Amino acid sequence: MEDWAEIRRLHKSEGMAIKAIARHMGVARNTVRAALASESPPRYERRKKAGSLVDGYEPQIRALLAKYPTMPATVIGERIGWEHSASVLRARVAQLRPLYAPADPADRTEYRAGEIVQCDLWFPPRVVPVGPGVLAAPPVLTMVAAWSGFIAALLLPTRQTGDLLAGMWQLLSGSFGAVPKTLVWDNEAGIGQHQRLTVGARAFAGTLGTRIYQTRPRDPEAKGVVERANGYLQTSFLPGREFASPADFNDQLGAWLPRANQRVLRRTGVKPAIRVGIDVAAMADLPPVPPAVGLSERVRLGRDYYVRVAGNDYSVDPSVIGRFVDVRCDLTTVTVTCAGQVVAAHERCWDTRRTITDPAHVATAKVLRTAYRTRAAAGSPPARAGGEDVGIRALSDYDDLFAIGAPPAPSPDPVERVLEVVAG
C-alpha cells in the first residue's frame, strides 16, 4: 500500500515519468502503470476455489439428512449413487449434518439444600509412589454438595465397587456427617451401568436410605458441579506438589480442601464453608449400622498359604491350611480371619503383582514342614493342619466290602454288609 501511494505522489506531484518512477522505486514499469491505473490500494484476494464433485450431489444429501439426520455417510453414499472418494463424501456430510440434527439444550438446574451430592472420579497423572521406584495414578473420589458447592475428596486404591463404596462412606461420615437424598454418578462400572446398579451399590443405598442416580452416557452437563471441581483440583491443588506415598497424598489433599472451600463461588456468591451447614442440616442422619464396604470373600487356604486381594498376594498363618478363611480388605488394611480368629493382618499395598509376607507366617510354615517330614520319615500317618491324626483303613476292608477275589455267594442285605465292615 505504501508503494502504491508513493508512486501516485511522484507521478502527480513531482511529475515524474513512469520510467523514472520505476527506476527510483526499484519496481517494474508495469507495476507503476498498474498503480496509476488503480483508484484504490491493492489488496489480497484469494482465488476462488474450484468446485467439488460432491457439489452436484448436495441437494440429495440435504434431502436425506432432512428426513434422517443420523443416517451414516456410507448409507447416504449408497442412496445417492456415490462412486468417488469416501473421504470427500464424509467431509461434506459432516459439514451438513449439524444443520439438520436436533439440538440438545442443557437447562439451568436449581438445587435445594440437602438434596444432591454429585460424585465423580478424577485421575491425576502418575505422581503417587506405590512402591520402590513405581509411580501410579490412582483415582481420586470427588464428592460435591450441589447446593453449597462444598468439596470433599479422597485418593482410592482402585475403582472397584468395594473401594468406591468405602470412599463414599468415609467422605459422607467424615466430611459431611449426613446422607443426602440423592447421590449422582455417571456410568462408572463399579457403581453400575445401563441404569442398573451393582449389588454392592444397591445394598449401600439401601443401608443409607438414599438413592444413587446414574446420568446418561456422554452427558457431563448433568453433573457439571463436580466436573468443575475436578478441573479445580487439577489446576489448583496438583501443580508444584510432590508426594511420598498415597497416605501423604491424602494428607496434603485434606489440608488443602479447607482453603479451597473458603473461596467464593461465582454461581452462589458465597463461600461453600458457610453454606455447607445449611446443606448438612437438610440431609438425613447417618445410619446406626455402617454399610458393608470394601472387598470381601471366602476362600479355602491352600498349601501355598497366600490369598490374592486386588492383584497382590498376602501371607496367612499356615496352621489353617485347608480351612475356609474370610478375607476383608478396606482402603488401608487386609485382614484374614478363620472361625472368627485373626490369622493375618497386613497393610494394603497399592501396587500390583506384589507378594506381602509376614515373617511369623514363614517361621510357622517351617515348623510345620519339619514336623511333617519327621512324621513321614518315621512312617507315621500324615497329620492334619490342626494336629489331628487321619485314620487310614486297610485295603482288605474294601476288598471284603465289594467281594473282590471271593467266590460268588448269595448277597446279604447291602446295608447290613456296609454296617458290618464299618463296625469291624
Looking at the predicted structure, is the pLDDT value of residue 407 above 70? no
pLDDT of residue 421: 45
Please, what is the angle between helix 73-80 and helix 58-67, to 10°?
A: 120
φ, ψ of residue 343 in degrees (nearest 5):
-115, 0
Average pLDDT, integer, range 281-299: 94
Residue 359: what pLDDT? Answer: 96
Could you give the CA distance from residue 285 to residue 210 in angstroms, rounded to a whole number? 11
Of the listed ranges 37-41, 147-151, 203-207, 212-216, the one predicted with least confidence: 37-41
375 pLDDT more than 90? no
**Is residue 382 scored above 80 in pLDDT?**
no
> What is the rounded CA–CA span in Å between residue 181 and residue 211?
6
Average pLDDT for 173-181: 96
Average pLDDT over residues 352-364: 95
pTM as predicted: 0.70
What is the DSSP annotation of 1-70?
-HHHHHHHHHHHTS---HHHHHHHHTS-HHHHHHHHH-SS-----PPPPPP-GGGGGHHHHHHHHHH-TT
> Which H or E run includes 151?
strand 151-155
Could you tell me how many helices (H) and strands (E) the chain has, helices first?
14, 16
Handedness of CA 348, 232, 201, 288 (dihedral sign): positive
Is the distance from CB of 259 to CB of 266 less than 8 angstroms?
no
Give mean pLDDT, residues 249-265: 96
CA distance 356 to 275: 45
User: Would the pLDDT of 399 be above 60?
Assistant: yes
- Spatial contact of 83 and 105, defined as CB atoms under 8 Å apart: no
pLDDT of 387 above 80: no
135 has which bridge partners? 129
> Nearest Cα to 60, choosing from 93, 13, 105?
93
Each residue of 81-136: pLDDT tens digit? 999 999 999 999 999 999 998 777 777 788 999 999 999 999 999 899 998 889 99
Predicted confidence at residue 152, as pLDDT, reads 97
Neighbours of 26 (CB within 10 A): 8
Mean pLDDT of 397-420: 58
* Rounded CA separation 151/117 (Å): 10
The percentage of the chain sitting over the pLDDT mark of 70, rounded to a whole number, equals 89
C-alpha cell at 99: 444443520
- Any bridge partners for residue 197, and if so which? 192
Banded model confidence at residue 1, pLDDT cuts 50, 70, 90: low
Give residue 422's pLDDT band: very low, low, confident or very high (50, 70, 90). Answer: very low
Mean pLDDT of the chain: 88
Per-residue pLDDT band at 383 (split at 50, 70, 90): low
Per-residue pLDDT averaged across 154-170, rounded? 96
The per-residue pLDDT for 317 is 96
Residue 358's closest CA among 342, 372, 371?
342
Q: How far apart are CA 190 and CA 162, in angstroms?
A: 8
Confidence of residue 77 (pLDDT cuts 50, 70, 90): very high
- pLDDT beyond 60 at 390: no
For 210-241, how does the pLDDT look when each residue is reduced to its tens digit (9 = 90+)?
A: 999 999 888 888 899 999 999 999 999 999 99
- What pLDDT is attached to residue 418? 41
The pLDDT of residue 406: 56
Give CA 261 to chain center in angstroms: 25
Least confident of 25-29, 360-364, 398-402, 409-413: 409-413
Rounded distance, CA 250 to CA 256, Å? 10
Which pLDDT belongs to residue 338? 95
Please tell me the distance from the alpha carbon of residue 367 to that of residue 380, in angstroms, as a whole number: 17
The span from the CA of 89 to the CA of 327, in Å, is 59
